[in-house]
Structure 1
Amino acid sequence: MEPVYRTLEIAAHALVRAQGMRLDVADADKIPATGGAVIAINHTSYVDFLPAAIGVYRGGRRCRYMIKSEMMDNPLVRFLITHTHTVPVDRSAGAEAYAQAVENLRQGFVVGVYPEATISRSFELKDFKTGAVRMAQSADVPVVPCIVWGAQRQWTKTGDQVGGSTRDMGRSHIPVMVRFGDPIDCPGDAVTETARLKSVMSSMLDDVRSTYGHHPPGAHWVPASMGGGAPTLAQARVIEEQDDERKAQLRAARARDEHKGSH
């Protein structure tokens, strides 16, 4: 029954109702009814994990995510992680998280992974990391592609501003679409299979966007390729590099302060 996870499910559905979110989930029956599976999700928002998880729930399964290990610093979040088979990821030592995720898959859990690793400011698919495919191969389970569209209207990174974000988490009745693709077995090398996964998800993303409805010209959440105000992939890459440098400077400053404090 997993009472902690069940409590989170109730809270998630309550949040969707409170927001008036117009959640449209399709093809959740493509998620295997039993056994492990990797759910590969495009990443456009800080909150796209929620509609994806509800989509998995409607398919009769529960999704376990991989999240930043820094979240363990919060006692409440640490409790939730410990009791929901969530996998904390320390990017400086990712092997342990990878091994734990593979073990979860072997035990029959569904594990949610973002192949892009970080939010796409352009809302196009960024380059994919091979981790999702390698996990599936190690555990001998399929990868199920998942596209979430519309969650970037709720809370995402500001496209052209380093370190900024835009948020609309009130009762805005924002439509959010979730689509699942056919399970993919990955018998080839990880790079080739990752490229195949990205190609499948790219076609799915095109289909979802074509049926989503109105994409206002110039809107911050609409890709540049569709006449929106988001940066292009190339422009977003430059902004992300600047953001990475900013974060590195902050980490270095904290390390210096901690070093001074210890003397």
Structure 2
Amino acid sequence: MSARRDRPYRAVVATAQVLFRVLGLRVEVRGAERLPVSGPVVVAANHQSFADFAVVGLPAVRRGRLVRFLAKESVFRAPLAGWLMRAMGHVPVDRRAGAAAAVRALRLLRAGEVVGVYPEATIGHAFTLKERADLRPGAARLALETGAPLVPVAHWGLHRVLTVGGRFSLRRGRWVGVVVGEPLRPLPGEGEEELTDRLHARLAALVEELVDRYPDPPADPASAWWWPAVRGGGAPDATTAAGLDRDAIAEADDHAARRLARRR
């Protein structure tokens, strides 16, 4: 994309960095050198916060690049946010008809851009990576169709600032870890499901690494809503979280259907 079109994006990046400093976020990025400095790249990240694109994109910014994210269509309808999303070259996704988004993503990759995808599709309530069955194969499909490396990017900690359930905090000093994994390239004869299997394994390991390194674990895990249940925390367990995730998707789809009906 042209330098002129990138100006709004770079302005948003600068604003986000100021907000990070105001909030005193301790953002630690590891492995940024694993993200290629040129050519098409598919970034696949876990999804835990409404603002996680701001940290998922940091490794690319440090490599002199910008990530064009696939994001739910409803974000683009908000007056200011929608204008910014379009100005930054992000791609709206309608879950009921995703072909248009896929075409735009392929066009961006063939132009040598970095495209960001959230295979979990929605923010997870368990604050761990969702089960393999819940990962969408879109990121792998884009990599296979274009030959772009599939780069896993995991993050953990930003959900303590802003996430689902109306939870947010302006408390200063939160730690947010971001780690870039080794690029995945398709193996001979590998299809999108097999590549997604490998992506899931890599992302899950990276998320676990970040939780292992978390510098401020709760003194009483059971009372900490943000600490994973698999580690004795107060977050929903995998079964409960999966139900909450499905309810969130159903509510969003119902809202979209009602909006479409009003237009007719």
Aligned residues: 252
Measured against aligned partners, the alpha-carbon deviations of 1:120-154 in whole angstroms (never above 9, x if no partner) come to 10012112110000011112100111110101111
Counterpart position of 2:215: 213
Return 5+ residue gaps in structure 2 as ranges.
none
Amino acid at match of 2:98: G
What is the rounded CA distance, in whole Å, between the counterparts of 1:98 and 1:241 in structure 2?
23
Residue 184 (str. 1) matches residue 173 (str. 2): no
Give the conservation status (yes or no) of the 8 Å contact 1:137–1:186.
yes
Query: Is 1:111 matched with 2:115?
Result: yes
**Alignment equivalent of 2:93, drawn from 89, 92, 110:** 89
Quote the RMSD (CA, aligned, Å): 1.9
Change (3 A) 1:6 1:253: closer
What's the TM-score, normalizing by structure 1?
0.89
Deviations 1:146-203 (A, max 9, x none): 110101111112xxxxxx32111x2521000000011111241100110011111111
- Which residue of 1 is the match for residue 33 of structure 2? 29
Corresponding residue of 1:60: 64
Q: Using the alignment, how far apart are the partners of 1:178 and 1:191 within structure 2?
A: 26
**2:198 corresponding residue in structure 1:** 196
- Give the alignment's TM-score, normalised by structure 2: 0.88
CA apart distance, 1:247: 4.5
- For residues 184 and 21 of structure 1, do their structure 2 counterparts lie closer, same or farther at Cα, with a shift above 3 Å needed? same
User: 5 Å matches for 1:1-263?
Assistant: 1=3, 2-126=6-130, 127-157=134-164, 164-168=165-169, 170-187=170-187, 188-216=190-218, 217-218=221-222, 219-247=224-252, 250=255, 258=262
Give, in angstroms, the shift of residue 251 of structure 1.
Answer: 5.3
Q: Is the 8 A contact 1:221 1:228 kept in 2?
A: yes
Contact persistence 2:122–2:249 (CA under 8 A): no
